[in-house]
Amino acid sequence: MTNICSDHLEASKLFYTTLFEFTVDYDSDWFVHLISKGRELELGIIDRTNEIVPEISRNRSDGVYLTFVVDSVDKVFKTASSNEFEVIQEPHDTFYGQRRMLLQDPNGVVVDVSSPIAE
C-alpha cells in the first residue's frame, strides 16, 4: 500500500476514484483508504498533519511519482480534462512502446498514466 500525505483529502479521493476506478474502503476526517476494482491495489490518502505520519515525510514528495497502467490513456485524459484535473503533459507515444500522459494530483504528486501501444 502506498500512502499519499495530503492537505486535500476530499479532492484527492475524487481524483483517484474518478480516474482509476478505486472504491472507498474507509473514509474519515484524517484518512481515506482506497481499493482497486479487483482489490489488487490499495492507496491511502492521509492528512499530512496526523500524528502517525512520520515527521520527515509530512512535507516531502520530491523524487516520487505514481504510475498507473490503464487500458486507454486517451480515455483517462478525456475524463481528467472534463473534470478539470491538472494535466502536466497530454498523451503522446513514447519510444519504448507506450502511450503516456502526466497529471498532478491535488497534493502535487505527479501521476504517470501509461498504456501499451498495440502492435
Residue ranges of domains in the chain, CATH in brackets: 2-49+64-116 (3.10.180.10)
Report the predicted TM-score, pTM, of the whole model to 2 decimal places.
0.90
Residue 30 — very low, low, confident or very high, per pLDDT cuts 50/70/90?
very high
Separation between Cα atoms, residue 112 and residue 105, nearest integer Å:
10
| Helix (H) or strand (E) segment spanning residue 79 | helix 73-82
Average pLDDT over residues 3-13: 95
pLDDT at residue 113, rounded to an integer: 98
> What is the reported pLDDT for 32?
98
pLDDT band per the 50, 70, 90 thresholds, residue 118: confident
H helix count then E strand count, the chain: 2, 8
Residues in the chain: 119
pLDDT tops 90 at residue 42: yes
Q: How far apart are CA 12 and CA 46, in angstroms?
A: 10
Identify the weakest region by mean pLDDT among 13-17, 85-89, 106-110, 111-115: 106-110
Position 8: which residue type?
A: H
Do residues 5 and 41 touch, judged by C-beta distance below 8 A? no
Question: CA–CA separation, 100 vs 113, rounded Å?
Answer: 6
Cα distance from N-terminal residue to C-terminal residue, the chain: 32
C-alpha 43 chain-centroid distance = 9
Report pLDDT for 64: 84
Distance CA(83)–CA(63), nearest Å, equals 26
Task: Note the pLDDT tens digit of each residue in 50-75.
Answer: 999 988 888 777 778 999 999 999 99
Report pLDDT digits (tens) over 83-95: 999 999 999 999 9
